[in-house]
Amino acid sequence: MTTSRPTSRLVDGGRMAVGTFTAVPVPAPGSTGRDVAAVAMLLAPLAAVPLGLVVGLTLWVGREARLSPWAVAALAVGLLALGSRALHLDGLADTADGLTASYDRERALDVMRTGDVGPAGAAALVVVLAVQAGALVTLAAHPWGPLLAGVLVCLSRGAVLVSAAAGVPGARREGLGAATSGVVPVAAAALTGLGLAAVSVAPALAADLAWWRGPLAVLVALVAVAALVRRCVTRLGGVTGDVHGASIEVALAALLLAAS
């Protein structure tokens, strides 16, 4: 295991977060030890700020130009996928296929490793993307709805605080899941989660929603992600990089739906 000084650990963690959760080009981190991975997971919501801006601006411009709300929402979802190299969507599809492939753990992990999209993966993509786009249509109609949507995109990356929390094992000995499983201390995850819930209050109020709608959306997403992670630990023996991606997409769908 590689350790680093606090300053270099923060820099490396920031680079790892941006490089892992977005398509923004950044220099490779000098260290990728578990201490750096923990920082990266905690910084995931901040790393996604460019993605949130893209989604928010797309919804706002589309609304002001009086374009089709559904077309604009679909474009926003597509740009978000492009901004993350569609890796999280790939993780969602692979996780769905793995969980429905077989009750044999190794067989399920092999299915996830191949990367082919099966029926369960395709269905998961259709449902989750439809929920995300449909919720964006509703949010975009509010005066400050695009701002709330952009913030929720960033908050959704906080799903990794659950999937990478201490006590959550990795399903494999190699890969992103092995490098990031159990790296986030429970106290740090809880404090960051409370901070994310607090951040959601301001944009919810700006969008003419009750103050509690933002925190409620965060709670709904937390429950959804926790259920997914629990299922993966039970069936697969732990989490993988695909599970991290699936958690983010599920969290975003839950956040947007609850806020809408």
Q: Give per-residue pLDDT as tens, 222-250.
A: 999 999 999 999 999 999 999 999 999 99
This prediction has a pTM of 0.92
Query: What pLDDT does residue 1 have?
Result: 44
Q: Give per-residue pLDDT as tens, 87-113.
A: 999 999 999 999 998 778 888 888 888
Q: What is the mean pLDDT of residues 13-17?
A: 93
Please name which of 42, 47, 48, 51 lies closest in space to residue 195, comparing C-alpha atoms.
42
pLDDT band of 208, cuts 50, 70, 90: confident
Residues 6+ apart with CB under 8 A from 28: 15, 19
Q: What is the mean pLDDT of the chain?
A: 90
pLDDT band of 135, cuts 50, 70, 90: very high
Question: Count of CB atoms within 10 A of residue 218's CB?
Answer: 27
Query: What pLDDT does residue 6 have?
Result: 67
Query: What pLDDT does residue 5 have?
Result: 65
Q: What is the mean pLDDT of residues 172-179?
A: 76
Query: What pLDDT does residue 108 have?
Result: 85
Looking at the chain, the whole-number percentage of residues with pLDDT higher than 70 is 97
Query: What pLDDT does residue 53 have?
Result: 97
2-11, 77-86, 107-116, 207-216: which range is least confident on average?
Answer: 2-11
**Which residue ranges make up each domain of the chain?**
52-259
